[in-house]
Amino acid sequence: MGASRLAVAVLCAVLAVGACGGDDDDDGVDISFGDEPPALGDHWHAAFGVNVCGEWLANAPEFHNAADDLSLQAGVHSHGDGLVHIHPFVSGEAGANATMGKFFEYGGWSAGADSFEVWDGAVHQSGDLCDGQAAVVSWTLNGEAQDGDITAHRLADGDVIALALIPEGDEVGRPPSAADLDAPSDLAPATSAPD
């Protein structure tokens, strides 16, 4: 085997190990095998909605590929049905990597503790007004108020997640899509990326 063919073979082997995973390396980079739930081959759903000043935005639009790299099929994605579809295709989407942050990243949106920008194209931030009242960014998980940044939340099957910009003290409410958790739009488990 020539030197260039050997180099290509070694590079392919290194890339395959990185894609398939192993343990955390010395740099703390997660290269796990994706056997921690949600594991490769699992198929979970979480309801997600965004409430701006008491009005629910339309569902997140459908996407199956990362917004910043259309060649990357997203194992955390939307069918436009108000659910986060979680079926990891690679270890970088599995286990502790299956987060709301991954959903936002793949969708091309952003969120933090005090602001968010989603599919309506507007930047919503604490201090904005709702009917003349100062509003705050907040989020709930299964009806309970949460602290911190929503993007750090590790997704679980059956989660009901709401992100909001509302006057302090107002109820965030339950996303309309929560009713669809019992009958998601894609009941058959996925074992590979969509076409």
Give 34-49 pLDDT, tens digit per residue: 568 999 989 999 999 9
Residue 190 has pLDDT above 80, yes or no: no
H/E stretch holding 75 reads: strand 69-78
Handedness of CA 166, 171, 176, 177 (dihedral sign): positive
Residue 99 has pLDDT above 70, yes or no: yes
Q: How far apart are CA 195 and CA 169, in angstroms?
A: 45
Cβ-count burial of 53 within 10 angstroms (0-12 exposed, 13-18 middle, 19+ buried)?
middle
pLDDT bin (cut points 50, 70, 90) of residue 142 is: very high
Place of tokens 């997600």: 48
Per-position DSSP letters for 108-172, written without gaps between them: T-EE-SSEEE-TT--EEETT-EETTEEEEEEEEETTEEE-S-GGGPBP-TT-EEEEEEEETTS--
pLDDT at res. 187: 55
H/E stretch holding 48 reads: strand 44-52
pLDDT at res. 12: 39
Pairing relation of β-strands 129-130 and 144-146?
Answer: unpaired
Q: How far apart are CA 90 and CA 108, in angstroms?
A: 19
H/E stretch holding 16 reads: helix 3-20
Q: How far apart are CA 127 and CA 144, in angstroms?
A: 22
Residue 61 has pLDDT above 70, yes or no: yes
pLDDT at res. 35: 64
pLDDT at res. 169: 92
pLDDT tens digit sequence for 162-182: 999 999 999 999 999 999 998
